[in-house]
A and B are shown apart, each in its own frame.
Chain A
């Protein structure tokens, strides 16, 4: 757990270093994620030690997020004028995207090697 957290923080810091040196307009944790992915693909020694810390953080991601989300309700006056645009864009936008992406996949994906279980 401790090793994993240390590795994750180190890679996030590496992301910060890259952003600082290059001035790229990207989020530093995302750059850290790419660097860690590359390191894992090139067999970073002790890479599997990330599993526990990574699993715990990802499993409880809602805990880290919902304190940000309550702002929608508590600062509703900021958003109420756009309620219709928000609802349509989020709900209808999601349905349209789901249908289009599913159709695209159906068209592109080769037939499975074994019979799909239904």
Chain B
């Protein structure tokens, strides 16, 4: 019986069933950020793997096909980006400046804090792409010599924290412009922030989607060149 655990079917069924349950809970909870499927779907997997004696490395091999699809999923981001580029032509200048400065800030602040608190190079490198959408982040982290797991988790938690705090932050800073709300959410909190932005309205959602795409693009194009220089300077 135990050898049945060591087929890809086991890992895939466990993964899909956990995700299905997580989606159901997320829907029931009206998309509450703390119950994001990324977190909820992880729980059954984290409990079951040690129980049946399956190592994390073997589980990763069993679910290889899902990781492979992250490639085409990244390419697919061109579609929403293309659609949203057309809707925001009038404000391309603030959008472009904020993307460049904001992407540098989001990455720089997390790099700086982690480094200051004594994290070693691969851990800091894993946090550098934390504000960009996960499929791009797990690609970029290969060029910053970070851990894929840590990057995926940091990205998810960044999204959740950003989505949870957006309401209070916007109230405190007296932001009523949906374009500002949406763009800030998408830039800092990627897809989870974009889902939150749609609750402010269609326009906020479109700006969030645009910010998500542009920030991912800018970070992915810049960080692989800059990282050796940053790492050489810090470590």
Give residues in A with beta carbon < 8 Å to B.
5, 8-9, 11-12, 15, 25-30, 32-34, 36-37, 40-41, 50-51, 53-55, 57-58, 60-75, 78-79, 82, 84-86, 88-106, 108-110, 112, 116-118
Q: Which residues of chain A are within 8 angstroms of B81 by Cβ–Cβ distance?
A: 33, 37
Is B154 touching A27 in the complex (CB atoms < 8 A)? no
Chain B 139-160 per-residue mask, 1 if CB under 8 angstroms from chain A, else 0: 1101100011110111011100
A101 adjacent to B36 (CB under 8 Å): no
Q: Are B94 and A90 in contact (CB under 8 A)?
A: no
A-B contacts besides A26-B221, A62-B19, A65-B135, 17 pairs, CB < 8 Å: A33-B76, A37-B82, A50-B76, A57-B73, A62-B41, A64-B70, A65-B38, A67-B63, A68-B148, A70-B149, A86-B150, A86-B154, A101-B105, A105-B94, A108-B98, A109-B177, A112-B177
Contacts of A86 in B (CB 8 A): 114, 119, 123, 127, 150, 154
Whole-angstrom distance from the CB of B158 to the nearest CB of chain A?
5
Cα(A101)–Cα(B120), bound, Å: 27
16 A–B pairs (Cβ distance < 8 Å), ordered by A? A25-B224, A25-B225, A64-B70, A65-B135, A67-B45, A71-B148, A71-B150, A74-B46, A74-B56, A79-B123, A82-B118, A86-B114, A86-B150, A103-B173, A108-B93, A109-B94
Q: Is the CB of A96 within 8 A of B109?
A: yes
User: Does residue B31 face the partner (Cβ distance < 8 Å to A)?
Assistant: no
Report the bound CA distance from A65 to B67 in whole Å. 7
Given A26-B221, A29-B74, A101-B98, A63:B16 Cβ within 8 A: yes
B78 to chain A, nearest CB (A): 4
User: Which residue of chain B has the shortest Cβ distance to A72 in the bound complex?
Assistant: B153
Q: Are B179 and A64 in contact (CB under 8 A)?
A: no
User: With A33-B77, A65-B38, A93-B109 known to touch, is A101 a contact of B130 (CB < 8 Å)?
Assistant: no
Q: Which of B69-123 contact A (CB under 8 A)?
A: 69-82, 85, 91, 93-94, 97-98, 101-102, 105-106, 109-111, 113-114, 117-120, 123
The one of B41, B75, B184 in contact with A102, judged by C-beta atoms closer than 8 angstroms, is: B184
Residues of B with C-beta under 8 A to A75 = 56, 149
Interface on chain A toward B: helix, strand, loop, or mixed SS? helix
B34 within 8 A of A: no
Contacts of B113 in A (CB 8 A): 85, 88-89, 92-93
| CB pair A97 B42 closer than 8 Å | no
The verdict on A27 contacting B142 (CB below 8 Å), with A57-B73, A102-B169 known, is yes
Q: Which 6 pairs of residues, A with B, have the shortest CB-CB distance? A: A71-B149, A27-B139, A85-B117, A54-B76, A29-B74, A108-B94
Q: Which of B11, B56, B72, B98 contacts A71 (CB 8 A)?
A: B56
Query: What separation, in Å, do the CA atoms of A101 and B190 have in the docked complex?
Result: 13
Of the residues A63, A85, A110, contact of B119 by C-beta under 8 Å: A85
Residues of B within 8 A of A5 (CB): 72
Q: Is residue B29 contacting chain A, with contact meaning CB distance below 8 A?
A: no
Check B5 for interface membership: any CB of A closer than 8 A: no
Q: How far is the CA of A53 from the CA of B178 in the complex (A)?
A: 29
